[in-house]
Structure 1
Amino acid sequence: MFEVREKPEMVERALLVRLYFDPREADESEALLEELEELVRTLGIGVVEKVLAKSRSMHKKFLCGTGKAAEIVDLAKAHECDCIVFDNQLAPSQQREWEAAADLCVIDREEVILDIFAKRAQTREARLQVELARMQYALPRMARMWGHLDREGGGGSGGSAAARGMGEKQIEVDRRMARVRIDRAKRELEDVRKQRATQRHARERLETPHASIVGYTNAGKSTLLNRLSGSEVLSKDMLFATLDTTTRRIDLPDGQPLLLTDTVGFVRNLPHRLVEAFKATLEESVLADFLIHVLDASSPEVEAFHDTTLSVLAELGAGEKQIITVLNKIDNVSDPDQMAFLRRTFPDAIHASALKDIGIAELLDACSTALASRVQRLRYRIPQSRADLVGLLHRDAKILSTDYEGNDILVHAVVPAAISGKLEGFLTEPPE
């Protein structure tokens, strides 16, 4: 039975490595290496040292030259490391070369992210998406995962081995089984997408507007959803705390309902196969009426995080959506220079703190403004004999007040454009 290799629990000491080839990439590479440390620690693996190394050119065997590779291997052995983790993406052949040279487990950034996703996935949809991404990643690397892969099965029953010929190698069996599981995961994910489409159509029939909360991982998206909706979505100070979308309904200041969806966070160099595998989750960003982009204002990399999120959104086809930018954790910014930078770089952003309830009212007002064209505040005089119209308002609008005068019902409501035409003959005054 094919299984993706799990990291053994004994892995406690890791050496982190980032190779870069252009001097202009030094600062960005250093930031990426710091982020890799957070990712690795999220798996519960200790980091003994980080190596940022420049190579004059990209080599086929080790990505860097053999001399630099030998230095890295010696350093890992001197620290008695269990594992070497590369921030660079390694080809399967390069991974095998590094493991042969170091006699250690060698993984890259993509495998770290996949392992985190595997630990955090809760719903069937998320588990399917993780399984698909991990299997696609592991398939070309299977030769390094087993010691039994050169075994051969029999070519048939009866006769001598020479007559039967060479059998099917174990690795060929495992690869075939892996492809079967990949195909099955794709089919099951397609079923999930159909179910989500059915749920989405139900939302559309109700004409309830929808916003998605997007942003870099650990920016505070789930905490913001909890603050806005009063729900208790998992929100922890860790990378990728949320892998499953959560949707909550709130009422805006103008009385209009809004569906808010929390989405999986982004990272720089997000593996493309994860973007593909998680499209069923991230498509909420594409289909929303507008997006709430949450940034960690206290992070020195806030501008890079902003650009990463917009890049992924563009790849998903959501680059042209209306966006409300929220600088979360603003209470953690005490440096006046950092504050000036934020105001200069994000002049239209809302300064907020989901934990301290700062800027929440301003954000709700911005959501109302974003949907202003969808609703109107209207006053109606409806005969009691047309209770069906009152029922329509209760179902699809937001009732602000109800009074009675003679045989008429006086209703003040926030009414979506989709139903306002059905009640036009009962208006008592022009729209507000």
Structure 2
Amino acid sequence: MFEVREKPDMVERALLVRLYFDPREADESEALLDELEELVKTLGIGIVEKVLAKSRAMHRKLLCGTGKADEIVDLARAHDCDCIVIDNQLAPSQQREWEKLSNLCVIDREEVILDIFAQRAKTREARLQVELARMQYALPRLARMWGHLDREGGGGSGGSAAARGMGEKQIEVDRRMAHVRIDRAKRELEDVRKQRATQRHAREKQEAPHAAIVGYTNAGKSTLLNQLSGADILAKDMLFATLDTTTRAIELPDGQPLLITDTVGFVRNLPHRLVEAFKATLEEAVLADFCIHVLDASSPEVERFHDTTLEVLEELGAGDKKIITFLNKIDQVTDPDQLAFLNRTYPDALRGSALKNIGIEELLQACSRVLADRVRRQHYRIPQARADLIGLLHRDAKILSTDYEGNDILVHAVVPAAISGKLEQYLQETPA
């Protein structure tokens, strides 16, 4: 990995490669290659060319045949590349074979995503999650990293037995250190999870419902949260702009409070270890009362993005959550056929633009409907002597109006189910 090998600035010219083995996979493979281009650009690496290569069979050594691998390596050399980025997942042994063949740095999609996450992580929790995922990825590749140092003169000269012995000894030291770092990160993450559990209990005591904004990376989730809450969260047109969850409190049209959390974006072929390492962050989607699924309606890949998000939610154990689907960037869809497809495929979805504040009110109304059974608009006639009940309403409900009649206080309020029983004897018929 760039950071582990301490040479992130040495990679300037990259050749991107996607291998596929079935002609029916050609279109999806091309889309994945385009997505890899966006991911690599996020790292600030220059891209000289993209190669979509078909191999007749999957080979254990290089994933593709040696002839196809030679063609790719020759192209990389012709472009004076210092890195080959292969979109397919490479086993550690395959990565070593590619680097031996090309004498270049060779990385896969997973390493690209891990390096992006390493750059973007800000909070202690996110940094711990990234460290755990990176060390788990790097552990079986330590021999490969020492191979790089050998070529740079860091592991002795001439490949002598003495040099190899020193390298092997150092690898064992590094492996022990890696295991120590992995164990430490797991322990610290467990502490973070306990802290989050304490925070959740505090939220639950407040009886505030909770929604998680989920969706494919760069779909507009942070922009939507900004519109809903008036917050100022980083919202850029880039992949994985948000890694750290942000929770904001808003008020729904019926007066009910709602906590909304922005989550890390999903991506196709998300490395499994990232799903595992980021469960402390993504569990917000699992524990939420419902999810707001943001889709980029303007993307030709909208259906695949939709399916990817649902697959990750299923893997996290949140597949049975109530979901409000929001087709974002609908103002950018001008093709009648695309609009017809969206209407046909997502008939119940809301449509709007988070950036232009289109459809936001309809989304808030939908959230109120999802939580309709949690609150009621009620009218009460409460004796002035029962100041404790008035205090309860001020603390745990939303008072819409107050009036006085004789020794009674007439209160119109949005009341959560948790306290409605304490006020039941003071209920009044809804005024005409």
TM tier relative to shorter chain: over 0.9
Aligned to 1:265: 265
Structure 2 residues without counterparts, runs of 5 or longer: 157-161
More displaced 10-residue stretch of structure 1: 401-410 or 77-86: 401-410
C-alpha change, 1:264 and 1:412, in structure 2 (3 Å) is same
Q: Flag the 1:82–1:393 CA change in 2: closer, same or farther, 3 A.
A: same
In the other structure, the counterpart of 1:158 is none
In structure 2, what is the Cα distance between the partners aligned to 1:99 and 1:23? 27
Residue 430 of structure 1: how far off its partner (Å): 6.1
Q: Which residue is equivalent to 1:63?
A: 63
1:117, 1:130 within 8 Å by CA — same for their partners in 2?
Answer: yes
Match of 2:308 in 1: 308
**TM-score normalised per structure 1:** 0.94
Q: Give the aligned partner of residue 105 of structure 1.
A: 105
Where does residue 250 of structure 2 map in the other structure?
250
Q: Distance in 2 between matches of 1:390 and 1:285?
A: 35
Q: Superposition pairs for residues 139-288 of structure 1, below 5 Å? A: 139-146=139-146, 147=149, 169-288=169-288
Shift in alpha-carbon separation, 1:67–1:431, aligned structure 2, 3 A: farther
Corresponding letter in the other structure for 1:195: Q
SS of 1:385's equivalent in the other structure is: coil
Taking the aligned partners of 2:278 and 2:425, their CA distance within structure 1 comes to 47
Distance 2:221 2:247 in 1: 12
Query: Is contact 2:155–2:167 with CA below 8 Å preserved after alignment?
Result: no
Is residue 2:136 matched to residue 1:136? yes
2:385 aligned counterpart, secondary structure: helix
1:47 is aligned to: 47
SS at structure 2 position matched to 1:382: strand
**What percent identity do the matched residue pairs reach?**
84
Query: 1:350 is aligned with what amino acid?
Result: L
Which string of whole-angstrom CA distances, capped at 9 and with x for unpartnered residues, describes residues 14-37 of structure 1? 100011111111111110000000
Spell out, residue by residue over 1:343-371, the C-alpha distance to the aligned partner (whole angstroms, 9 max, x if none). 11111111110111111111011000000
- CA RMSD in angstroms, aligned pairs only: 1.8
| Contact in 2 for aligned 1:377/1:431 (Cα 8 Å) | no
Counterpart of 2:372? 372
SS in 1 for 2:386: helix
CA contact (8 A) 1:4 1:135 kept: no
In the TM superposition, what whole-angstrom CA distance separates every residue of 1:281-335 from its partner, at most 9, and x where no partner exists? 0001011111100000000000000000000000001101110000000111111
Q: Check the 8 A contact 1:150/1:171 in 2, yes or no.
A: no
For 2:352 and 2:73, the matched residues in 1 are separated by 46
Give 1:108's aligned amino acid: D
Displacement of 1:8: 2.4
Residue ranges of structure 1 left out of the alignment (5+ in a row):
152-160
The answer on whether the counterparts of 1:214 and 1:265 sit within 8 Å (CA) in structure 2 is yes
- Residue in 1 that maps onto 2:409: 409
For the residues of structure 2 that align with 1:203 and 1:386, how far apart are their CA atoms? 27
1:108/1:202 CA distance change after superposition, 3 Å: same
Q: Is the 8 A contact 1:378 1:431 kept in 2?
A: no
Measured after TM superposition, the shift of residue 386 of structure 1 is 1.4
Match of 1:18 in 2: 18
The residue type equivalent to 2:344 in the other structure is R
Residue type of the alignment partner of 2:349: A
Whole-Å separation in 1 of the counterparts to 2:381 and 2:5: 69
Partner in structure 1 of residue 159 of structure 2: none
1:348 aligns with 2:348: yes
Distance in structure 1 (CA, Å) of the matches to 2:4 and 2:65: 30
